[in-house]
Amino acid sequence: MPDTVGRVSERVPVSSLPEATAWVVRQLGLVAHDSTVSRDHLRTLGEFLVRFGNPANAQKSLGDGTPPVRTRTRTRPTKAEIRSALTERISHFLESHPGATYSEISDALVEPIDVVTHAARPVNWLILENDEVEEPAQRRESEITAATRDKARAALLAASLMTQPLSHQAYTTLLREGRVKGPSVARIVQLFGSWTVACNSVGVSSGEPLRQNYERTWTHEDLLKFVARFLREPMYRGASHQFDVWRSSVNSTEKVPSLGTVRNIVGGTWNDIRTSTLRSMRKEWV
């Protein structure tokens, strides 16, 4: 049916469109049997070109004089971008100040402490609370370690009733035979420092000195240094279950203690170990 005089046709002949535009509308299945395309479809295509293509060529590509929809150019960073930038600043500060508190970071970066606390979440394993900076006067042994220590004493007493003096070889034999139930020799050494000290704690003669490879390989300070190296690796995010993953990546070049060894000798929960390590790292600030 012919269009009313003075009214713009609602359909546009494909032959009047630029070659590239004609190809697109054909590929999209927008061409009718009379080789025309809806002006609404062309308008939608133009809006797409403006948003995702080259705005300068959008109107030219339409070829029908339909004015494209203009999008406003963003001139200010978003809140997420601002927070991400602050996180980067905090991370950089913690590289030289591991174990800093939120208030110390706030003062150093001249940012509100609530803003710092929120932005620091991706790196918060390197941060101490204000009440964690100073080590408590008395350190409380974890319940698990204390219970294991009691089991070790009971096992040593039971084993001493079957053999005297109680060498570590004799104790291991009793464990394997099932005549005594208790921690291994290596675990007992980790708990008490040496086989002799463990036996003396319950008044039992220890017999032959324990061979060297059962003695402690690392001191308390050595272990904290290993934990410090682990905490500085951002990909592991300070998570305890990642410690042995990190250890396996390092063990090809040097001997590194397992998380179990760290827990046994340093004692306490993982958060206790992390906190102690960050305290020691604070002492190295320049």
CA distance readout (Å), 110 to 95, 104, 116: 18, 10, 10
pTM: 0.56
Same domain, 126 and 147: no
Least confident of 27-36, 120-129, 131-140, 224-233: 131-140
Span 5-16, mean pLDDT? Answer: 70
Alpha-carbon gap, residue 201 to 153, rounded angstroms = 8
Single-letter residue type at 216: R
Question: Please, what is the average pLDDT of the chain?
Answer: 83
Least confident of 68-77, 121-130, 133-142, 249-258: 68-77
Cβ atoms 180, 160 nearer than 8 A: no
Domain housing 114: 79-132
Span 200-216, mean pLDDT? Answer: 66
Same domain, 236 and 278: yes
Q: Is residue 3 part of a domain?
A: no
C-alpha 86 chain-centroid distance = 18
Same domain, 242 and 267: yes
- Which residue, of 194, 214, 234, is where some domain finishes? 214
The answer for 110, left when phi > 0, alpha when psi is -120 to 50, beta otherwise, is left
* pLDDT classification of 139: cutoffs 50, 70, 90: low
Residue 212 has pLDDT above 70, yes or no: no
- Which residue, of 71, 101, 132, is where some domain finishes? 132
Joined together, the tokens standing for residue 143 give: 């319940």
Question: In sequence order, which ranges of 30-178 are alpha helices (DSSP H)?
Answer: 39-52, 55-62, 79-96, 102-109, 113-119, 143-160, 168-177
Cβ atoms 97, 232 nearer than 8 A: no
- Higher per-residue pLDDT: 116 or 206: 116
Residue 82 has pLDDT above 80, yes or no: yes
Q: Is residue 272 part of a domain?
A: yes
Q: Is residue 5 part of a domain?
A: no
Residue 194 has pLDDT above 80, yes or no: no
Q: Is residue 149 part of a domain?
A: yes
Tens of pLDDT, residue by residue over 12-68, are 888 888 887 888 878 888 888 888 888 888 887 777 766 655 545 544 545 545 555
Cβ atoms 217, 174 nearer than 8 A: no
